Amino acid sequence: MVLEKLGRSLDTAIRKIRRLPSVDKYAIDGLIQELQRALLSSDVRVELVFEMTENIRKEAMNTKLQKARRRDFVIKLVHDELIKLLGGKPAPIRIKPGKKNIILLVGIQGSGKTTTIAKLAKYYKSKGYNVGALTTDTWRPGAYEQLVQLSEQVGIKCYGNPNEKNAVKIAIQETKKAINDGNDIIITDTAGRHKEEKELMKEMAILEQKLKPNEIILVIDGTLGQQAYNQAEAFAQTTNLGSIIVTKLDGTAKGGGALSACSAANIGIRFIGIGEKIDDFEEFEASKFVGTLLGIPDIESLVQKVQEAEVDVEPEMVKRMMHGKFTLDDLYL
């Protein structure tokens, strides 16, 4: 299972709630602590964990239910907060027939952008599009040759110029060639760059300006950890990101850093890479993903059932919700 450790921890927490005949303040406190431990141990940013669990606590204790069972309502709250953490569902990438359609992939070094180019190309090729791959990476030795090799595996043409050191010039010239060759979509690779590499971040902004891509996708390594938040935030401040692809998201990855990246950039996950093979690539469905993590495959049915119940908020219950203030120290209890 993807994010196996996190899934086990969340599943355990939810099972305890589902077994209870009724859910009171003490049960909710116990759930909150287990959620905090699970998310923090998976590298989700501390501030995000605090905000998410505090939202759950307030709603769980402050909402008067007319029909729904409180335990179902609490599970829905956990579901909704995880969905919010994941940034929701990205808008579809609109491919315009007969027009220039460019998808630009960006990310730090080693995030798996080049392999993801091939995976994404195969996905669009399976939809009936003519797809070309283009690399503008002038920094990493063998970047062009690697993409050529991967493109051959997928059965598409690769564009680039290993003798040119100006990434913007490569992008402009090779994009024209790809369009003239009749490609519907040009998936463009960029050099890996870190938020502190100011010139490379500036180059990325220029590439966006010159190419005017349909979408810029941030590629995040699922094993990256805490630094994923700051990196995603820096990329979002430099370019108009549309979605995220998370790579290396197998059973061993903690994955919390990638989840935090969604919040930092305020965008959702579009695809996940779950292995090294080109076919190890899936469209991301946030609700299904969260349902799997919580051990409730039919989570959408539960969510719908709660939504259909009449729910009223009683503000006066806030005063009776908790004694004292919740602090960051509580995260580690």
- What is the model's pLDDT at position 200? 82
| Cα(75)–Cα(319) distance, integer angstroms | 23
Q: Where are the beta strands (DSSP E) in 78-214?
A: 102-106, 131-135, 157-159, 185-189
Give residue 233's identity as a one-letter amino acid code: E
DSSP 270-322: EEEE-SSSTT-EEE--HHHHHHHHTT-TTHHHHHHHHHHS-EEE-GGGHHHH-
Tens digits of residue pLDDT in 109-167: 888 999 999 999 999 999 999 999 999 999 888 899 999 999 999 999 999 999 999 99
| Cα(15)–Cα(264) distance, integer angstroms | 30
User: Which residues on adjacent β-strands are paired with residue 105?
Assistant: 217
- What is the model's pLDDT at position 191? 81
DSSP 164-204: ---HHHHHHHHHHHHHHTT-SEEEEE-----TT-HHHHHHH
Q: Which fold has domain 4-88+289-332?
A: Four Helix Bundle (Hemerythrin (Met), subunit A) (1.20.120)
Instruction: Dig out the tokens for 183 from the structure.
Output: 């490609």
| Cα(230)–Cα(65) distance, integer angstroms | 39
Two domains, one topology: 4-88+289-332 and 102-285 = no
Q: Per-residue pLDDT for the chain (333 aa), expressed as one digit of tens each?
A: 557 788 889 999 999 988 888 888 899 999 999 999 999 998 899 999 999 999 999 998 888 876 667 888 899 999 999 999 998 888 889 998 888 999 999 998 888 999 999 999 999 999 999 999 999 999 888 899 999 999 999 999 999 999 999 999 999 999 999 999 999 999 999 987 766 677 888 889 999 999 999 999 999 998 888 888 999 999 999 999 999 999 988 756 678 888 899 999 999 999 999 888 999 999 999 888 898 888 888 888 888 888 877 455 455 544 444 444 444 444 333
- What is the model's pLDDT at position 323? 45
Cα radius of gyration rounded to whole Å, the chain: 22
Q: State pTM to two decimals.
A: 0.86
Instruction: Dig out the tokens for 96 from the structure.
Output: 């315009």
Could you identify the residue written with the tokens 């729910």?
311
- What is the model's pLDDT at position 317? 46
Side-chain-side CA neighbours of 183 within 13 Å: the count stands at 28
Give residue 179's identity as a one-letter amino acid code: I
- What is the model's pLDDT at position 32? 94
- What is the model's pLDDT at position 324? 46
User: Which residues on adjacent β-strands are paired with residue 103?
Assistant: 187, 215
Annotated domain spans of the chain? 4-88+289-332, 102-285
**CB–CB of 36/56 below 8 Å?**
no
| Cα(14)–Cα(7) distance, integer angstroms | 10
Q: Which fold has domain 102-285?
A: Rossmann fold (3.40.50)
